[in-house]
Amino acid sequence: MLDKVKEIIKKIDIDGIRNFLVKNKRYIGAVGVFVLMMCILAVGTDGSASSKNPMAGAYQSYEENEDQKLLDLITNYYNAYAAGDVETLQKYATPVSAAEQSYIQNYSQFIEKYQNIKLYTKRGIDENAYLVSAYLQIKFNDIDTPVAGLDFFYVETDENGNLYINNTYGLYNQNAGEYQMDSSITALIAAFEQQEDVLALQAQVQQECNEAMLADEKLSTFVNSTLQQSITKWATDYKAQVAAEEAAKQEAEQKAAEEAKAAAEAQAAAEAQAAADAQEAANAKQGTINASDIHVRDAASSDGNSLGKVNKGDVVTVYSVANGWAKIDFNGTKAYVSADFVDVSDASAATNTTTTDNAAAGKDVVLSDTVNVRANPDSSSQKVAMAYKGDTITVLEDAGNGWSKVSYKGQAGYCKTEYLK
């Protein structure tokens, strides 16, 4: 039967739990099916607490050493295990991996109770550590006959003087290898397995287990079929669960990385736009609308949506002029009007006003910006010329209302006096 158990368990393939439930001679008959099911053969070192050699001394039973604290620790552990209460169980044993916790909860559904617990101890790596073989009987749900088992614990003493189970050396972790083990302790465990008194106890429990299986066909069927199938299904389901969780984690991490990248790119774009807006505002000029009922659009195109209208004489901030369109501020929004309907000052919009003395008649002025020369002293009047920055224009007379009559390349006309500095 033990060979069947090993053959089935070897088929279970969980990451880090290879050859689950198999550890050579550590299993006793049918009870060997239950890793950490309290039916595990003890694996520990020996030697009495007073001995310098851990392998020396008798294999003391609980009745001989009367260690009530140790018995309470192991009993409380089994009670939590039978209830599938992994939170409480971790008060007595640590560490307990997520995989082992899942296994305990699956297995506990079959357990009614653990009973008739007896402890056999030898000294651990030091005088504050114990190698504990725990004899017990497992009462399964709806099965009359209990079955004997032998479990192993490596018990240590914490800094407060309290005993606890160092679950690193439990059979589950010895198979799964989820936690690193001290080579000195594992060497003691290996030596312990070969001790005569340990082997004798194993043989005794093996015999009890075999007799129970022969006497109760229902127990035998449960152990050899139902329980094995449950363990195999648990292993398959848990492996799928871990894979799904890992895939979800990777997906979440990828999504977070993409969102972080998008946020960084948006931040960079916003900062670049803010810098561009600041530069644009610094270079802005004042403009005057020279016609009425002029559409203001949301794009530099006649196909752009109309946002409203401006009228002759309206003063606007002009950010730039390109491709026949002026980019202006319209009620706090950047919008566009045809450049033909905007007379742009050479003064910065930030200044907002320009003070210029009326140009003296006969004065030649070198233009500091491009200006329109119109047929009449009116912004809506026809342009007769365009005088460019650096050109010389001659002032003929003051035409009033901020206009001067000028001569440009032999062409008489009018331009705003404020441009004639």
Domain that holds residue 399: 355-421
Q: How far is residue 123's CA from residue 105's CA, in Å, rounded to a whole number?
A: 31
Q: Which of 321, 353, 385 is the last residue of a domain?
A: 353
Q: In terms of domains, do 359 and 335 share one?
A: no
What's the confidence (pLDDT) of residue 278?
83
Dihedral angle of Cα 268, 272, 275, 276, to the nearest 10 degrees: -160
Q: In terms of domains, do 24 and 104 share one?
A: yes
What's the confidence (pLDDT) of residue 342?
93
Question: What number of H helices and E strands is found in the chain?
Answer: 10, 21
| Residue 272 forms part of a structural domain | no
Instruction: Quote the tokens at residue 310.
Output: 């401006």
Block residue for tokens 């109309």: 306
What's the confidence (pLDDT) of residue 77?
97
| Residue 274 forms part of a structural domain | no
Q: In terms of domains, do 316 and 178 share one?
A: no
Contacts 24+ apart (CB under 8 A), 376-381: 376/414, 377/401, 377/403, 377/405, 377/414, 378/290, 378/414, 379/288, 379/289, 379/290, 379/291, 379/312, 379/313, 379/343, 380/290, 380/291, 380/312, 381/414
* Integer Rg of the chain from CA: 47
Q: In terms of domains, do 37 and 87 share one?
A: yes
Q: In terms of domains, do 81 and 195 share one?
A: yes
User: Rounded to whole angstroms, what are the CA distances from 350 to 280, 281, 347, 353?
Assistant: 11, 8, 8, 8
How many residues are listed for the chain in this entry? 421
Q: In terms of domains, do 311 and 369 share one?
A: no
Residue in 73, 238, 239, 232 with CA at minimum distance from that of residue 167: 73
What's the confidence (pLDDT) of residue 74?
95
| Residue 266 forms part of a structural domain | no
Residue in 117, 134, 105, 144 with CA at minimum distance from that of residue 222: 144
Q: In terms of domains, do 186 and 68 share one?
A: yes
| Residue 414 forms part of a structural domain | yes
| Residue 74 forms part of a structural domain | yes
Block residue for tokens 């002009």: 318
Q: In terms of domains, do 207 and 224 share one?
A: yes
Q: Is 315 left (phi over 0), alpha (psi -120 to 50) or beta?
A: beta
28 burial type by CB count under 10 A (0-12 exposed, 13-18 middle, 19+ buried): buried
What's the confidence (pLDDT) of residue 349?
53
Instruction: Quote the tokens at residue 94.
Output: 């640590």
Q: Which of 198, 217, 246 is the last residue of a domain?
A: 246
| Residue 256 forms part of a structural domain | no
Q: In terms of domains, do 224 and 346 share one?
A: no
Q: How far is residue 279's CA from residue 183's CA, in Å, rounded to a whole number?
A: 70
The amino acid at 283: N
What's the confidence (pLDDT) of residue 400?
83
Total domains, the chain: 3
Q: In terms of domains, do 114 and 195 share one?
A: yes
* pLDDT averaged over 10-residue windows placed end to end, the chain, 421 residues: 38 40 35 34 29 45 64 96 97 95 94 94 90 94 94 94 95 85 92 88 92 94 93 93 94 94 92 85 89 93 92 91 91 92 73 45 82 88 88 88 87 88 70
Q: How far is residue 305's CA from residue 57's CA, in Å, rounded to a whole number?
A: 98
Q: Which of 353, 371, 393 is the last residue of a domain?
A: 353
Contact 38, 136 (CB under 8 A): yes
Query: What's CA 77's distance to the chain center, in Å?
Result: 34
Asked if omega into 95 is within 30° of 0 (cis), the reply is yes
Q: In terms of domains, do 330 and 361 share one?
A: no
Block residue for tokens 């299993």: 27
CATH number for the domain spanning 361: value is 2.30.30.40
| Residue 275 forms part of a structural domain | no
What's the confidence (pLDDT) of residue 363?
82
Block residue for tokens 């003493």: 157
Query: What's CA 122's distance to the chain center, in Å?
Result: 46
Q: In terms of domains, do 97 and 40 share one?
A: yes
What's the confidence (pLDDT) of residue 362?
72
| Residue 220 forms part of a structural domain | yes
